[in-house]
Amino acid sequence: MTSSTPRNEELFDRARQLMPGGVNSPVRAFGSVGGTPRFMVSAKGAYLTDADGAEYVDLVCSWGPALLGHAHPEVLAAVHAAVDRGLSFGASTPDEANLAALVQERVPAAERVRMVSTGTEATMTAVRLARGFTGRNLIIKFAGCYHGHLDGLLAAAGSGLATLALPGSAGVTAATAAETLVLPYNDLAAVEEAFAAHGPNIAAVITEAAPANMGVVTPAEGFNAGLSRITREHGALLIVDEVLTGFRTGYSGYWGLTGGAAGAAEPWTPDLLTFGKVIGGGMPAAALAGRADVMDYLAPLGPVYQAGTLSGNPVAMAAGVATLTHATAEVYSFVDARSLELSAALSGALDAAGVDHSIQRAGNLFSVAFGTSARGVHNYDDAQAQDVFRYAPFFHSMLDSGVYLPPSVFEAWFLSAAHDDAAMNKIFDALPRAAKAAAAAATA
């Protein structure tokens, strides 16, 4: 591990005296990999700079939003202009509709759009709306899929496929958890069984378009389409969470690559979608979208209440409009190509070091899972069964070489339009030593 990070260590020591764990989001604490978290002070293009002045090629990209690269000049210009006009008005602004129109143009299933501030707020609203629209209480989610930290979706699986969930976090009541069914991902038979047992009470199924919070997991062929079919047959709604994948895995998100693509093998359409990350271009912004008749159940038209003082914040909307405007088909083609190059180089380095692994993909998002070549990763149990102990030495070797990876093996790797040949070569050069570190790792 890196031994000399005096300013980062000083900042972390101070932060721990002021904030729980020294962070405002748990993964930043480096709990999964150990060592001192890096406190970043600036970013440009494909690079981050920490408080000690060390520069890193960034493969986190703010967990997705930096699709164009950090501090993209067009996004900065739009934000600066918006700031000059004022930070917040508590009233409607033109860019709210401009951003909604861009979302609708890319995702035809987004017949109506409601702007909010965070992905958690978007999924919370989607769940409330589904219950209000259907008059039902139960929600199905999948083990390993993350939809923000709302109580009802921080639930753990019960003892059987059709058993109501248990609290998955302290502070979540048993009664709240019992309104959620947690099922194995990629298992349509489990979904059918749950509907057979509880169908008249199920308001919605919520799923990540392609999971990226247990590492990346590719939906089995026909899985999302099957969810659409089953929910439609039972009068429930399908909520597709694209907070991570939306406008990151493609021009129209992961739905656009699969169910919404021209010539898709089995076309399907969600009832509701949630967006975040890229839609705000690095500013706090997210959205709920979907069928007009469902969305119109939201206040002020309908009986389902949702409000937010900072929803549609003008600075965030300006960043989102600029980002989506400049996220062209050419940008996605470039990022897709870079993703294939990097994942191939990663796999090659691990093969050369004799490290068993698989690469999990969803569009241009990917992750590595150690010790899984025989079976791959198809659900949460598969993800948990991997050789997690190999990631920390791999991560720190890359960090020492000036490459910033997600500080958890259960996260996706992100690239941007700013990852030029120089940035890629720095990553490629770091991989062999990191692969050897993973090979030498021992279980605790």
First to last CA, the chain: 16
Contact residues for 115 (Cβ-Cβ < 8 A; gap 6+): 96, 99, 100, 285, 286, 287, 311, 312, 317
Among residues 76, 140, 136, 91, the alpha carbon closest in space to that of 312 is found at 91
Spatial distance between the Cα atoms of 10 and 26, rounded to a whole number of angstroms: 19
Q: How far is the CA of 173 from the CAs of 125, 179, 201, 367, in angstroms?
A: 19, 10, 20, 33
Active site residues: 146, 241, 277
Region of 235 (left: φ > 0; alpha: ψ -120 to 50; beta: rest) is left
